[in-house]
Amino acid sequence: MLRDIFKSGFIRRLECLKIDVKRVHLTTRKGGYESVNKKGTSLEFADYQAYNPGDDFRYIDWNLYGRLDKLLVKTFKEEVELSVHILLDVSLSMLYPDVDKKYEYAKKIALALAYIGLSSQNSVRVANITSPASEADGGSIMQTQFFQKLNGIFRIKDFLDGVEPGGEADLQGFLSRYVYENRGRRGSVIIISDFMVPAISYKRGIDMLRFKNYDVKVIQVLGAEELDPFKNIKSGEIVDVETNERKVINVTGSVKKKYHKLLSEHNKELRDYCRVNNMAYTLAQTDMEIEDLILRVLPRIGFVR
């Protein structure tokens, strides 16, 4: 049950939100987003615009033409469907440091955003970001179907509960496959990950989404221990949990300084990349209450409304 994860008051407030989008794509099923379209099917008048060659004569306001001697075309508000693609990083790095509980936090974000999408009468799919080698059936993506009804949230929850993180996150390879498998279902793509991958990987992957006209949003999940891992350590062996590469280090002041500098630069590069390309971005730290993230932070940055 969702109430085992979220408070009932929080769930009710989720129902008042919508995923904010900068690009809207028409599909065959009506949904909860409005778009101005000259061939809108609703009766709600929106505005006028100047006639252009090829516009339908049926939408010319002849009364205004008689008064203003200008050809003006009526426009209408039309409700359209938005497909929401929630892509969750399930690589092994999402389990470490274990005290940060990054993956559990990321799952809650995915579930809350899926609930917002479904309560807005829009199609929602959740998919696991993995490397090709970790796919169980020869390379196909582990993902749910598209759900349109609110009770689909229980199927999404079951899907997320059944995931065991592992392997590496190949963002470039995964997003390339995802674009191919979901051609024709453009909409809003929400990427939830720690983004502990080379910048070239996520940039090339996200650039493919942008080229295909997806509206991309990014949530980077990190924990307090990851942001400052050497507080109580003077020496030891560090292990890359995805590649199993090991290295013995002495934690000197210069090592701490270099770590914080590299992490800060890595995060800034991701943040700047999103800003330059007009994509909503936030750093979600796992010590923040999930209610504060969804209800206070995401609306402020134009992620939801």
Q: Are residues 76 and 88 in the same domain?
A: no
Does 142 lie in the same domain as 199? Answer: yes
For residues 47 and 190, state if they share a domain. Answer: no
In-domain check, residue 120: yes
pLDDT of amino acid 58:
82
Distance in angstroms (rounded) separating the CA atoms of residues 100 and 70: 64
**Could you tell me if residue 90 is inside a domain?**
yes
The phi, psi pair for 278, rounded to 5°, reads: 60, 45
How far the first Cα of the chain sits from its last, in Å, is 25
pTM for the structure as a whole: 0.81
Is residue 270 assigned to a domain?
no
Q: Which domain holds residue 120?
A: 2-25+82-222+276-300
Residues 112 and 193 in one domain: yes
* Number of structural domains found in the chain: 2
Per-range mean pLDDT, top range of 29-33, 95-99, 119-123, 265-269 = 265-269
| Same domain, residue pair 161 and 181 | yes
Do 21 and 170 have their domain in common?
yes
Give a yes or no: residue 44 inside a domain.
yes
pLDDT, tens digit, 9 for 90 and up, residues 170-229 = 899 999 999 988 887 878 999 999 999 999 999 999 999 999 889 999 999 999 999 988
**Residues 87 and 69 grouped into a single domain:** no
Instruction: Name the 3-class secondary structure at 41.
Output: coil
Q: Are residues 213 and 88 in the same domain?
A: yes
Q: Are residues 89 and 75 located together in one domain of the fold?
A: no
Do 187 and 171 belong together in one domain? yes
Same domain, yes or no: 95 and 64:
no
One DSSP character per residue, 74-132 reads EEEEEEE--EEEEEEE-SGGGG-SGGG-HHHHHHHHHHHHHHHHHHTT--EEEEEE--G
Q: Which of 80, 114, 143 is the last residue of a domain?
A: 80
Answer whether residue 248 is part of any domain: no
**145 occurs within a structural domain:** yes
Instruction: In whole angstroms, give the CA distance from residue 86 to residue 156.
Output: 11
Dist CA 171 CA 291 (whole Å): 28
The Cα 114–Cα 83 span in angstroms is 11
Please check whether residues 144 and 67 belong to one and the same domain: no
Model pLDDT for residues 83-121, shown as the tens digit of each residue: 999 999 999 999 999 999 999 999 999 999 999 999 988
